[in-house]
Amino acid sequence: MSAPTKKPAVTEREARQVAEAAREQDWRKPSFAKELFLGRLRLDLIHPHPMPTDEEAQRGEEFLAKLRDFCETKIDGARIERDAQIPDETINGLKELGALGMKIDTKYGGLGLTQVYYNKALALVGSANPAVGALLSAHQSIGVPQPLKLFGTQEQKDTFLPRCARTDISAFLLTEPDVGSDPARLATTAVPDGDSYILDGVKLWTTNGVVADLLVVMARVPKSEGHKGGITAFVVESASEGITVENRNAFMGLRGLENGVTRFHQVRVPAANRIGPEGAGLKIALTTLNTGRLSLPAMCVGAGKWCLKIAREWSAAREQWGKPVAFHEAVGSKISFIAATTFALEALLDLSSQMADEDRNDIRIEAALAKLYGSEMAWLMADELVQIRGGRGFETAESLAARGERAVPAEQILRDLRINRIFEGSTEIMHLLIAREAVDAHLKVAGDLIDPEKTLQDKAKAGANAGVFYAKWLPKLVAGPGQLPRSYADFHPEGHLDLSGHLRYVERSARKLARSTFYAMSRWQGRMETKQGFLGRIVDIGAELFAMSAACVRAEHLRTTGDHGREAYQLADAFCRQSRIRVEELFGRLWSNTDDLDRKVVKGVLGGTYTWLEEGVIDPSGDGAWIADATPGPAKRDNVHRPIR
């Protein structure tokens, strides 16, 4: 048996090549968001609003009714916050309810819910306590069930899915102490040994890892005779000899989260437990996240709904200067923002989820945008709620109750939501990931032109291809339906507000966005990938345009089904007007910003130029390394793994 390999030394270019190889290369199905970034509003891809079948809806609603009763009677959010742990009886109750198998097919003992109803369930549970929502989400969205559903063998599905549906909790282990969003440097190894692999390494931030029964582990297989090697995915029994949960981590929010540090020392894993071929681990992880990311915006929608409820009730009861605070413009604008944004987020989520269920569209960009936009906007809504509540927003629910007031955990939701801007790809990484997909069409035809390693012959060929592509594409960005006053007339029904103007704005802005992207690529060429501030703004504009489109489509759907149509039109109109202000600001900041100056300041900070500015304070940080030692070897700490039985 070979010795474990050392942590690989990886250049920036090599890291990028690993990430590029892992992403799905082709677009076999249409994508609304991809078209939007190319300057085309393909409303036909999302309107009329897709809907679940009657059977799917009935099964989903029946489970939601049971789950609501469980959440109201069996989940004590205050106790979880106080004890920093979900009680075993609560987890066992969820198992009995079948909540571990919401997305697992009925033939394996699961409930077989659609993505739409799975997300509604997560929003409901997350509103009762976000840590419980995180447990269920990590188990099903990125844990063992989803990668096996997509890439597992029939034998693996038969073996593990029934367990995951009813009894066993799973976790997903990718991150390491010195490896975050740069998996090319993954150090955990899986060395072939006969009909097994031997795992060695340390994994960090293993959500559910403290209580998990089954693990999805990403490890590097060394290249050798008969072994392609590369980052590979495995299903690992958490009770295997050599696995130690060395620490249960604690955070500013999600206090009930069972998240830890897991060490593997000479852990034997059968080759039959490998998911997919060697080297396919990152592709499996990214593909799993294509729909798995929708679980986070689901809980963000639930948070928005709760923020709206509390803002409404409190702002009607609290009076200042002779009238409820809601009727003071400074507070009222915050309530309007929460209401309109919650409506848009739910529209974005339901639309993306239904598209995932129908599988007619490629939703990799849509899901990523929903995660990015949902996590950012939910945080803003929670922050506004704390501001509306004033001093009571900063006070804990326990303290409020102790002095006789309603125990509203506003400060807790702010803490709990903060992690969503980091979970499953930080906002900064999501900007880069989405930007890469958004410019894919350009790179396919002109990528060789800006690649310094390509030959002159390759560049000449790319230039010819690019000329043909842009000769057809660029003229279409000059004019479109957004300039015709009667376009999208379906969205201006008699007796309702006019949403057609907002869709015309989306169409015009999509073309402007595409022109801006093309101009930037022409200007910066190979340096485009370093312009992360610019790319982030491009993506944020796309997110706003997608949200506006979804809000309009949802409002029209609710109008035609007779379900709060007039009110939905009002909320969609308010959201689009708020969103348009943000879009115009982002367009302005594409070319008028401090990005270059910021880079100079950063060089000065890291070079010690401004250390005098740090004088006059005490650093309360404790001693210790910035990054913990993750050298493979036997455990030196007690095992805090505690399976729930």
The pLDDT value given to residue 322: 86
Share of the chain above pLDDT 90, in %: 81
Residue length, the chain?
645
**pLDDT of 487 higher than 60:** yes
- For residue 268, list its beta bridge partners: 198
Residue 610 is encoded by which pair of tokens? 């401004």
On the question of pLDDT at 514 being above 80, the answer is: yes
- What pLDDT was estimated at residue 526? 72
DSSP state letters, 329-381: HHHHHHHHHHHHHHHHHHHHHHHHHHHHHHT-S--HHHHHHHHHHHHHHHHHH
Quickly count: other Cβ atoms within 10 Å of residue 428's Cβ. 13
* Predicted pLDDT of residue 297: 96
241 carries an active-site annotation: no
Q: How far apart are CA 440 and CA 357, in angstroms?
A: 25
Which has more confidence, 20 or 310? 310
The arithmetic mean of pLDDT across residues 255-261, rounded, is 97
- pLDDT for 399 equals 98
pLDDT for 455: 80
Distance CA 46, CA 83 (A): 45
Cβ distance 303 to 376 under 8 Å?
no
Torsion of CA 544, 550, 551, 554, to 10 degrees: 180
pTM of the model: 0.94
Answer whether residue 319 shows pLDDT above 90: no
Please answer whether residues 364 and 31 qualify as being in contact, where contact means their C-beta atoms are separated by less than 8 angstroms. yes
pLDDT tops 60 at residue 7: no
Count Cβ atoms below 10 Å from residue 628 Cβ, excluding itself: 13
Q: What is the mean pLDDT of residues 60-65?
A: 98
Please identify which of the residues 366, 395, 424, 437 carries the catalytic annotation: 424
Q: Over the chain, what is the mean pLDDT? A: 93
In this predicted structure, which of 39-48, 263-272, 463-472 has the lowest mean pLDDT? 463-472
